Amino acid sequence: MSRNIAAPRGTRDLLPEETSAWSHVESVARDLARRYAFDRIEIPLFERVELFARGLGESSDAVEKEMFRVSGAQGSGEEAAPWALRPEPTAGIVRAFIEHGMHVRPGPLRLTLIGPMFRYDRPQAGRYRQFSQWDVEVIGDAGPAVDAELIELGHRFYAEVGLTDVVARINSIGDAECRPRYRQALVDHFAAHEDRLSLDSRRRLRINPLRVLDDKDLPPELAADAPRGMDHLCDACREHFDAIRALLDVLGVRYELDHRLVRGLDYYTRTAFEFYVAGREGQQQALGGGGRYDGLVELLGGRPAPGIGFGIGLDRTILAMEEQGVAPAPRGELVAVLGMGDDHDRRLQIAGTLRQAGLAVRPDGSSRKLGKQLESASKAGARWAVIIGDGDAMALKDLATGGQRDAVSIEEIAPIVSG
Ligand code: HAM
């Protein structure tokens, strides 16, 4: 006998008992996107490797270690072009913005999408090779008000899905003017202790010294007295960051300053933020993250335009909801329609009427004894059973309490069930 085929490592099937939490979280995201005036955009699941290499940076983990490459048909020319599944959507959205000349539209543009991302990483709890993000991007607004608005939006999302204790960690990593000085300060600090750095960090020290700060193997003493980005900001970046903090205070958003938060993608400038359940800080635990990318549009060939956005990891959000016991029950009120003998025409008609009234209805398709039908309705998670008797008679049974109302009319059922 041949061996069964399993899902690829780092991917998950979402079974029916899990998908209701997903639907709930996605609908909260969609509704917030509507209320915050974001328009939906969709981009391909794969793009040219070059887009990610240029946009996210050759030395980012997403490009250097985790690129999920796809090849087209065997052959040469365009068909053999190197593509990769998108590790994140920001680079693709900016590509679309440039490709469609969207800079001429009345801005700032507020764009959103929900969908799968792919990173060929070593799978572990909360880290998958295919995962989903809710992404929002604002292009054409230099802030700082929009920075605070987005951090507040992320914060509100977690509250609306029912999570408590989610805190935003924020930092400013400066811009083209002040970042070089900060980079140099980091190089000077860490080069003096190079022998205590991991191999990864020694390499990063040369290519992108900021990333040394988010190495989880960095000795705590070296991290503690490392130069802080905030001490190296130019006046314009400092004012920008101070203004965001003042706005977050006014909005009542809980945040903490995190000098080591530098983000893993190279396109960031100035504002960087991540969301965590308090006490669960650490790279693998970020529920979401984002920041400003004022140089990305130009880097990808467009006219200079500032940008900011975030990506919220839906998988990790749902894991946190399960841990906090706030994931919604699999299904709302389900109504089973049961009958006697072969009265399937009546069962389907009544099911149809109740569905038109908005109820979730599952007619029993068997001709088993009523007791058996009731048993399987309960097992299927039905809260109510409509029992069709002779003629027009109908009873409504509450399967949770066992209570029954005889001689109900079809019009009475929906209001009772909807409670
Ligand atoms: P990111 O921090 O790389 O940012 O990812 C955002 C979120 O996606 C993470 O905080 C995490 O919740 C989730 N995530 C990332 N990798 C995985 C994984 N392997 N398995 C499960 N969840 C994961 C970005 O992607 C940026 N594009 C965000 C952004 C938008 N910045 C500006 N605009």
**pLDDT tens digits, one per residue of 141-154:** 998 999 999 999 99
**Structural domain contains residue 358:** yes
Structural domain of 403: 334-418
Q: What pLDDT is attached to residue 81?
A: 62
* 269 and 384 share one domain: no
- Ligand 1 atom at shortest distance from the alpha carbon of 91: 27
On average, the pLDDT of the chain sits at: 92
> What is the predicted pLDDT for the residue at 80?
52
Instruction: Name the least confident of 322-331, 348-357, 368-377.
Output: 322-331
Asked if residue 389 and residue 302 are part of one domain, the reply reads: no
My answer on whether 161 and 59 are in the same domain is yes
Atom of ligand 1 lying closest to residue 265 CA: 3
Residue 376's domain is classified under what CATH number?
3.40.50.800
Verify whether ligand 1 is closer than 6 Å to residue 309 (CB atom). Answer: yes
Q: How confident is the model at residue 333 (pLDDT cuts 50, 70, 90)?
A: confident
Domain tally for the chain? Answer: 2
- Structural domain includes residue 90: yes
pLDDT of residue 76: 58
The pLDDT, as a whole number, for residue 58 is 85
Q: How far is the CA of 336 from the centre of ligand 1 (A)?
A: 42
**Mean pLDDT on 68-92:** 80
In this structure, are 41 and 133 located in the same domain?
Answer: yes
- Give me the mean pLDDT over the 162-166 stretch: 95
Is residue 280 included in any domain, yes or no?
A: yes
Query: Looking at the domain assignment, is residue 192 inside a domain?
Result: no
Residue 335 has pLDDT above 90, yes or no: yes
The tens digit of pLDDT for each residue in 100-109 reads: 999 999 989 9
Look at residue 39 and tell me if it is in a domain. yes
The pLDDT of 25-48, averaged and rounded, is: 97
Cβ-based neighbours of 32, under 8 Å, separated by 6 or more: 153, 156, 157, 160
**Among the three residues 296, 324, 352, which one is the final residue of a domain in this structure?**
324
pLDDT level of residue 43 (50, 70, 90 thresholds):
very high
Q: Residues 373, 307: one domain?
A: no
CATH number of the domain that residue 34 is part of: 3.30.930.10
Quick one: average pLDDT of 335-347?
94
Q: Could you tell me the distance, in angstroms and rounded to a whole number, from the CA of residue 47 to the centre of ligand 1?
A: 17
Say yes or no: CB of residue 310 within 6 Å of ligand 1. yes
From the CB of 302, is ligand 1 less than 6 Å away? Answer: no
Same domain, yes or no: 269 and 407: no
Cα separation of 286 and 154, whole Å? Answer: 12
Cis amide bond preceding 108, omega within 30: yes
Which of 324, 358, 373 is the endpoint of a domain? 324
Q: Which of 95, 153, 265, 297 to mutate to test ligand 1, by most ligand atoms within 8 A of the CB atom?
A: 265
Q: Is residue 10 part of a domain?
A: no
Banded pLDDT at 354 (limits 50, 70, 90): very high
Percent of the chain with pLDDT strictly greater than 70: 96
Q: Which is more confident, 380 or 41?
A: 41
Cα distances (Å, whole numbers) of residue 264 to 59, 64, 203, 283: 9, 11, 15, 10
pLDDT tens for each residue of 242-264: 999 999 999 999 999 999 899 98
Would the CA dihedral through 335, 336, 339, 344 be positive or negative? positive
Domain shared by 342 and 302, yes or no: no
Reported as a pLDDT band with limits 50, 70 and 90, residue 77 is: low
Q: In this structure, are 308 and 339 located in the same domain? A: no
Mean pLDDT of 300-329: 94
pLDDT (tens digit, 9 = 90+) per residue, 269-295?
A: 999 999 999 887 765 689 999 999 999
Q: How far, in Å, is the centroid of ligand 1 from the Cα of 240? A: 24
The answer to which of 10-14, 111-115, 260-264 has the lowest mean pLDDT is: 260-264
Give the pLDDT confidence of 370-379 residue by residue, as tens digits. 999 999 999 9
Nearest CA to ligand 1 atom 30: 310
380 and 353 in a single domain? The answer is yes
* 268/345 same-domain check: no
pLDDT band at 204 (very low <50, low <70, confident <90, very high): confident
Query: In the listed set 291, 324, 357, which residue is the last one of a domain according to the structure?
Result: 324
In this structure, the answer to whether residues 289 and 338 fall within a common structural domain is: no
Tell me, yes or no, whether 221 lies in a domain. no
Q: Is residue 211 part of a domain?
A: no
Q: What is the pLDDT of residue 105?
A: 96
Whether the per-residue pLDDT at 110 is higher than 70: the answer is yes
- Which atom of ligand 1 is least distant from the CA of 128? 20
- Whether residue 406 is found in the same domain as residue 275: no
